Amino acid sequence: MNARLALLGAMLALVAAGGRAATESPAAGTAQGVYSAAQADAGAQVYAGRCAVCHGADLSGTWEIPALRGRFVGNWGRTPLAKLYDYLGHAMPQFAPGTLEPPDNVAVIAFLLRENGAPAGGRPLPADRAALERIVLDPVTPH
């Protein structure tokens, strides 16, 4: 292959990659304060009413129901919140899946983040799947 052409091809590929990176908004992480304190409080109410019966008031679970702290961060860490949002939206509460409204879904996620050591920020977590796709659950140390 012509060396000049190969070099040109490589340069074009670099420009294309650079252009793509510039148009994508950077991913945020839950360590940066992606939910509001009021939203986590609202999520605590949702949790108490719809989740605590199985997962426990202190999120510690039982022998057959997973805890929602500690290992939870390992299971969902480094993945976009959209994945957790989808899971809660179609699988929880168990025996009544699909009944968690989007605002309650993100509120309960805010509560789970707070319980797992992520700090609150100034703005609530949006009930918007595309936005949640860009926020990654940072593996912070649970308190």
Q: Site residues (CB under 6 A) for ligand HEC?
A: 50-51, 53-55, 65-66, 68, 72, 75, 88, 92-95, 100, 108
CB of 76 to ligand HEC, least distance (A): 6
33: left (phi over 0), alpha (psi -120 to 50) or beta: left
Measured from the CB atom, the residue of 120 and 137 that comes closer to ligand HEC is: 137
Instruction: Answer yes or no: are the C-beta atoms of 21 and 106 closer than 8 Å.
Output: no
Measured from the CB atom, the residue of 10 and 45 that comes closer to ligand HEC is: 45
CB of 11 to ligand HEC, least distance (A): 45
CB of 2 to ligand HEC, least distance (A): 54
Measured from the CB atom, the residue of 76 and 120 that comes closer to ligand HEC is: 76
Measured from the CB atom, the residue of 9 and 140 that comes closer to ligand HEC is: 140
What's the rounded Cα separation, in Å, for the pair 112 and 110?
Answer: 5
Instruction: Answer yes or no: are the C-beta atoms of 33 and 120 closer than 8 Å.
Output: yes
CB of 50 to ligand HEC, least distance (A): 4
Phi, then psi, of 24 in degrees rounded to 5: -80, 135
- Omega of the bond leading into 103 within 30 degrees of 0 (cis): no
